[in-house]
Amino acid sequence: MTEVAIIGLGQIEVQEHWDTSLRHLAWYAIERALDDAHTTHIDALFVGNMLAGQLSNQMHLGALIADFAGLRGIEAVTVEAADASGGLALRQAVLAVRSGQVQTALAVGVEKFTDQTGANLTTALSTSLDADYEAVHGATPAAIGALMMRRYMHEYGLELADFAGFSVNAHANGSKNPLAMFRNQLKAERFTAAPLVATPITLFDAAPTGDGAAAVIVTNRERAMDMVPQPVVVAGSAVANEPLALHDRRDAIWLRAAEQSAAKAMQAAGVTPADIDLAELHDAFTILAALSLEACGFAERGQGWQLARDGEIGPNGRIPISTFGGLKARGNPGGATGLYQVVEVARQLRGQAGDCQIANAQIGLAQNLGSNGATAVTHILKT
């Protein structure tokens, strides 16, 4: 079995990039990843994107971005699984390298949400739900997340304030990340006073949508050892799904796909949750952070929120999460998010995380969810 390693990382600031086109966003991240890997030779490009067709009138990003980035003639394709598109793009890159058919693959996630605003964006985002049974009735991703959060609060007797620790941690970490969309600290008392988005989810429960791009270059491990001083090994990579529609899932407050993909990835990597030094989880809403901690085995069922309350998700806690701000503070650029997560974990393992560095980080997990958990992709990275 060919082992796969990361040789290049690139990312740009998550922001409202009004003046920058979709293709430029992608190119800036690709350029940085190529520089980081000290190479210009790429055999295959996998583009993770969610909504360019609807928001920017641009499909067929594979050929478009390959050309714009100077990667002419190569194999290129777009990969989509809602907000898990970025993680899936890396997954395809890993499979391609493992196949032996592709030597070096580049996964880039790119999303430009600001080509549309307000209702248009919400409508487009809702196409990631079940169109015939959810979105047609007016459901949005936040509305579905709210149903999950309400049920969780009901089951475990919680109130909004019990989730504050997730956003406080995310903003504390994001304040030290120069590429984060929001770098302000957040106080717990401000969290509970935030305006409602979809009861019980408030503005400070929900990650902001932003424009961004992140890129990861992978090749086989042997080659990587010759190319860069600190290749990061992709020790586990797994994808699972469950029904798109929340009402079709067996359990509304258990992320089954997240559990399955995490278990498979950890098994492949030969690690258990206790071995993992940090995790970038898909905290698009605080409830997803709590449920992801449980699905990955970092907490028992119903106890994920306690890790936030007890400070165990902070940089010095038992399982640091959102170490660069997570979706909540770094920002959530849709189909790019999964690759930001991987870039962040890899930077931690390289010891290049600056003020966000987790001490002695050697094994990290990145988990990217699509549509509140319908798709889950988990990568385990090792030094």
The DSSP letter of residue 83 is B
* Site size toward a copy of itself, by CB under 8 A: 68
The smaller minimum CB distance to a copy of itself, of residues 36 and 242, is found at 242
Is residue 82 at the binding interface for a copy of itself, with CB under 8 A as the rule?
Answer: yes
Tokens standing for residue 230: 């600190």
Is residue 295 at the binding interface for a copy of itself, with CB under 8 A as the rule?
Answer: no
Is residue 140 at the binding interface for a copy of itself, with CB under 8 A as the rule?
Answer: no
Q: Is the peptide bond before 231 cis (omega within 30 degrees of 0)?
A: no
The smaller minimum CB distance to a copy of itself, of residues 100 and 157, is found at 100
Cβ(84)–Cβ(372) under 8 Å?
no
- Name the phi and psi angles at 184, rounded to 5: -85, 150
Burial of residue 101, with CB atoms counted within 10 A of its CB: 0-12 exposed, 13-18 middle, 19 or more buried: exposed
d(CA 60, CA 270): 38
Per CB under 8 A, the list member of 1, 119, 274, 359 interacting with a copy of itself is 1
Residues 58-77 that bind a copy of itself (CB under 8 A): 58-64, 66-67, 72-77
The smaller minimum CB distance to a copy of itself, of residues 90 and 353, is found at 90
The smaller minimum CB distance to a copy of itself, of residues 56 and 202, is found at 56
Burial of residue 100, with CB atoms counted within 10 A of its CB: 0-12 exposed, 13-18 middle, 19 or more buried: exposed
The smaller minimum CB distance to a copy of itself, of residues 66 and 329, is found at 66
Tokens standing for residue 145: 């997340």
d(CA 142, CA 137): 14
Cβ(26)–Cβ(65) under 8 Å?
yes
- What lies within 8 Å, CB to CB, of 359 at 6+ separation is 316
The smaller minimum CB distance to a copy of itself, of residues 89 and 329, is found at 89
- Name the phi and psi angles at 381, rounded to 5: -110, 145
Q: Which amino acid is at 171?
A: H
Per CB under 8 A, the list member of 135, 218, 278, 299 interacting with a copy of itself is 135
Residue 203, CA distances (Å) to 82, 199, 208, 288, 378 in order: 21, 10, 9, 15, 27
Site string for a copy of itself, 247-286 (x = CB under 8 A): -x-------xx--x--------------------------
Pick the piece of the chain touching a copy of itself (CB under 8 A) from 91-99, 148-156, 287-295, 352-360.
91-99
Q: Kindly state the smallest distance separating residue 54's Cβ from a copy of itself, in Å.
A: 5
Q: Which amino acid is at 66?
A: A
Tokens standing for residue 116: 């549309």
Give the residue among 378, 366, 89 at the shortest CA–CA distance from 215: 89
The smaller minimum CB distance to a copy of itself, of residues 132 and 310, is found at 132
Per CB under 8 A, the list member of 36, 205, 211, 242 interacting with a copy of itself is 242
d(CA 86, CA 67): 20
Q: Name the CA radius of gyration of the chain, rounded.
A: 19
Per CB under 8 A, the list member of 17, 98, 282, 379 interacting with a copy of itself is 98
Is residue 17 at the binding interface for a copy of itself, with CB under 8 A as the rule?
Answer: no
Residues 320-339 that bind a copy of itself (CB under 8 A): none
Is residue 21 at the binding interface for a copy of itself, with CB under 8 A as the rule?
Answer: yes
Q: Kindly state the smallest distance separating residue 198's Cβ from a copy of itself, in Å.
A: 19
Per CB under 8 A, the list member of 96, 181, 265, 381 interacting with a copy of itself is 96
Give the residue among 333, 273, 350, 265 at the shortest CA–CA distance from 91: 265
The smaller minimum CB distance to a copy of itself, of residues 199 and 267, is found at 267
Q: Which residues bind a copy of itself (CB under 8 A)?
A: 1-2, 21, 23, 44, 50-51, 53-54, 56-64, 66-67, 72-82, 88, 91-92, 94-96, 98-102, 124, 126-132, 135-136, 237-244, 248, 256-257, 260, 370-371, 374-375
